[in-house]
Structure 1
Amino acid sequence: MQAHPTTLNEWLSRLEAMHPKAIDMGLERVARVRDALGLRFDCPVITVGGTNGKGSTCAMLESILLQGGYRVGLYTSPHLIHFNERARIDGEIVGDAQLVAQFEAVEAARGEVSLTYFEFTTLAIMRLFMEAGLDAVILEVGLGGRLDAVNVIDADVAVVTSVDIDHTEFLGSTREEIGFEKAGIFRPGRPAIVGDPLPPRSLVEHAEKIGADLWLMSRDFNYSGDKQQWNYGGRNMRRNALGYPGLRGANQLLNACAALAALEALRDRLPLGAQEVRSGLALVELPGRFQVLPGRPAVILDVAHNPHAAATLSQNLGNMGFFPYTYAIFGAMADKDIAGIIAQLKDHVDHWCLTDLPLPRAAKAADIAEMLEDAGVTPRNEPDAERSIRCFANPAEAYANARSRAGENDRIAVFGSFLTVAGVMEARKSEYH
């Protein structure tokens, strides 16, 4: 018999081995343990599902509600470095001891019921939130929606950010099949916010069939704006002269719109002023997505475009083990703290491939090169130099150069603006087709 775990890492190791499947779709087991735990919330619960944009939307909801002075619990997955990142209370990552106490409670309540790692930890974090006396709880769906462990809680408002092809082995191979799975988080008579501008018919039909209060982008809420600011228009309220969200990305206005629609639907229970919304959008942060692509040399994609995200990336790079050389492909917007990003990462990088980006507000590669030299990075640019700085017109050219120079045991870290990462991803697609 295995000894009872006492530390978070011991618990996590045990949970990884406890259930025969990593993913076991279905709610019957989870619901039994939920009932044994007496798990229920007195405060509003917002559940957020979708293929892309879930993390951003959750982060915006949390940020705005915190600016409103509310006590907020946020559950997201997966984590980047530490498991604790999955649970935040009042904007702070929870400690090991808090999680261990909840793991013990779930273990005591589950009896003979077998739970996956995700199911067990989801129930534990929900119980932590239930006991914390919160004003609002935000739950990010792990996979799909209908059969995801998060869905054992009836959300007061459910958001589906986007529907695209992903996790086909569990959710189906078409947007229609996947849309039906995502729609499973909707509840009769309760707001169902759809941020996808072109949602699958299956998602809309399911919402209508169960009698959910369906909010569709363009029909029930929308946005307008120019380069400086944007406006939200909902069913019964407008929010004008908003700054762009602190999360920069192609779909962040869609995500922000869905978040504001969810908050409009809850306005009687969680009222928010204009300034609280503005501040929440401006201050929102989301840790970088550390993605290591298969193959050699190792390629890491991370939208780390501020010093905080760069610090996370730095820690992750440090944890990866030894690589003879690290090549960085880096491009960023001029309004970013580029010197701060460099300070976090300069000790991990041997060869800098700096790139221009196709936006007027992007920093020029040549200007970033000067900042590197100001930070004490003084390479020589001969072909066999141990360190180098080179400038390129676009991410694809920077990536091609790094690929041509990197040995198979080296690594290439792509970071900065989402445009940097997107450009390299496009280059890789053409490389393999």
Structure 2
Amino acid sequence: MTYQQTLHWMFERLPMFQRQGASAFKKNLDNIILLCDRLGNPQMAYKTIHVGGTNGKGSTSHMLASVLQEQGYKTGLHTSPHLKDFRERIRIDGQLAYESFVVQFIEQHKAFIAQNQLSFFELTVGMAFQYFKEQKVDIAVIEVGLGGRLDSTNIITPILSVITNIGLDHTAILGDTLEEIALEKAGIIKANIPVVIGERQHQTTCVFDAKAKGVEAKISYASDFDYPELESELKGSYQHKNKKTVQRAVEVLNENTALSISKEALIKGVEKVITNTGLLGRWQVIQESSPKIVCDTGHNKEGLAYVMNQLAEERYKELHIVLGVVSDKDLNSVLPLFPKHAIYYFSKPDVPRGLNSDELQQKAAAFNLKGKKFKKISEAFEAAKKAANAEDLIFIGGSTFVVAEII
């Protein structure tokens, strides 16, 4: 098969949470253990850092990888979902995995994958572990896909665990209270392995403290420390908390592991994160002016609150918002965050989980968010560009898939 044929087989045959929702999530680690046993447990061939949380785990993972690269370590990075190219999920020093590796991996294990009904995420985690082993990385930053305790990435024994924060997202799977969700996220805390929590939150601190104490893991909260504000290619005031988390993580790595990371590597790594790792979609300015166009992948209540606060700091004559969401999103908690004065362009992301534009428009109207509906995100975007004046601002968001279709 060619690379494109391989991707088609993967997308069509394997259940994928990002596209299908909860039906693709498996509540056990049986398959990933089976796959990694078949591969000879490649995840044990190098050091790892495990990063979970509700919001900011992607940005934090990329920043940590960038810092490690600046220090000179050959650094693997596994994140999800991807925006444009599947191989965004598997990088080394910012370079996407080879297409030939993806093709060969699927050809070699195709029958096994089908026979054992592996999910898309289970497959990609095992693929990443194997690629990092073959390429002989020094260390890999592994982002949790969903939750923590039962996430496929949770078979690693890292040198550091990081949990950015806790918010109400994926409640049908993880629980409908912050405490329940925190308990699932705390599943990545390992015995005698230090853990950094990005934000001290009233409802979740006792959960993390109890789990850390139970497994004798040294715990610290980045929000308890004062750090200088670091410059970064990642714009958006909401990145402040992620940068603090990275700064604390680097301190803990220097204090508790054999890694040695200089202040210079920390500063340069945070500053050059996009250059070093290719991260996309975080307050990404697509066009600087005439009109200014910005997109962001924030999609849950907490993430969108940060993004809307950032949007409120912008100056413009008229605000145009291209908006799409997935069908399992709690719109009653999300839609009130959006500004009522904006002109909206509603559309359905091109995935099975996408919410129909008719329903989105009706739901939005209940919160005084008014605008037109479009069949495709691209059509909504073109309409916004046609309507916008040079002094206006166009924002694109509501879902990772909306951003992916634009960039």
Matches of 1:213 and 1:168, distance apart in 2: 28
Residue 288 (1) aligns with residue 275 (2)? no
CA gap of 1:101–1:423, structure 2 versus 1, over 3 A, is closer
The match for 1:365 among 316, 331, 334 is 316
Counterpart residue type for residue 152 of structure 2: A
Aligned to 1:64: 67
The match for 2:88 among 69, 75, 85 is 85
CA gap of 1:218–1:197, structure 2 versus 1, over 3 A, is same
Aligned to 1:304: 284
Aligned residues: 321
The match for 1:256 among 243, 247, 251 is 243
Matches of 1:395 and 1:191, distance apart in 2: 41
TM-score (norm 2): 0.68
Contact 1:145 1:184 (C-alpha < 8 Å) held by counterparts: yes
Matches of 1:423 and 1:43, distance apart in 2: 37
Residue 278 (1) aligns with residue 276 (2)? no
Tell me which structure has the larger Cα radius of gyration: 1
Instruction: Quote the offset at 1:246 in angstroms.
Output: 2.5
Matches of 1:77 and 1:255, distance apart in 2: 17
1:27-426 pair list within 5 angstroms: 27-39=29-41, 40-107=43-110, 112-198=115-201, 199-219=204-224, 222-224=225-227, 230=228, 243-267=230-254, 268-285=257-274, 286-288=279-281, 303-305=283-285, 307=286, 337-338=288-289, 358-359=312-313, 362=314, 364-365=315-316, 396-399=340-343, 406=372, 408=374, 411=380
RMSD: 3.8
SS at 1:411's partner residue? helix
Q: Which has the higher contact order (CA 8 A, sep 6+)?
A: 2
CA gap of 1:68–1:202, structure 2 versus 1, over 3 A, is same
Aligned to 1:326: none
CA gap of 1:117–1:407, structure 2 versus 1, over 3 A, is closer
Contact 2:291 2:394 (C-alpha < 8 Å) held by counterparts: no
Post-superposition CA distance 1:64-112 (Å, at most 9, x none): 1112222111111011122111111111122321212223444466695
Instruction: Quote the offset at 1:365 in angstroms.
Output: 3.1
Matches of 1:47 and 1:278, distance apart in 2: 21
Instruction: Quote the offset at 1:183 in angstroms.
Output: 0.5
CA gap of 1:338–1:62, structure 2 versus 1, over 3 A, is farther
Counterpart residue type for residue 398 of structure 1: A
Residue 13 (1) aligns with residue 16 (2)? no
Counterpart residue type for residue 205 of structure 1: A
Instruction: Quote the offset at 1:201 in angstroms.
Output: 2.2
Instruction: Quote the offset at 1:367 in angstroms.
Output: 13
Counterpart residue type for residue 22 of structure 1: A
SS at 1:397's partner residue? coil
Counterpart residue type for residue 14 of structure 2: E
Counterpart residue type for residue 258 of structure 1: T
CA gap of 1:17–1:185, structure 2 versus 1, over 3 A, is closer
Matches of 1:250 and 1:5, distance apart in 2: 39
CA gap of 1:422–1:197, structure 2 versus 1, over 3 A, is farther
CA gap of 1:102–1:407, structure 2 versus 1, over 3 A, is closer
- What are structure 2's unaligned runs of at least 5 residues? 294-309, 320-337, 347-368, 386-392, 400-407
Aligned to 1:331: none
Instruction: Quote the offset at 1:422 in angstroms.
Output: 10
CA gap of 1:129–1:407, structure 2 versus 1, over 3 A, is closer
CA gap of 1:68–1:398, structure 2 versus 1, over 3 A, is same
Contact 1:187 1:210 (C-alpha < 8 Å) held by counterparts: yes
Matches of 2:92 and 2:248, distance apart in 1: 23
Contact 1:396 1:423 (C-alpha < 8 Å) held by counterparts: no
- What are structure 1's unaligned runs of at least 5 residues? 225-229, 231-241, 290-302, 311-336, 343-355, 369-393, 426-433
Contact 1:161 1:195 (C-alpha < 8 Å) held by counterparts: yes
Contact 1:45 1:136 (C-alpha < 8 Å) held by counterparts: yes
Q: Which structure shows the higher helix fraction? A: 2
Contact 2:163 2:196 (C-alpha < 8 Å) held by counterparts: yes
Matches of 1:283 and 1:80, distance apart in 2: 20
Matches of 2:178 and 2:220, distance apart in 1: 19
Counterpart residue type for residue 288 of structure 1: G
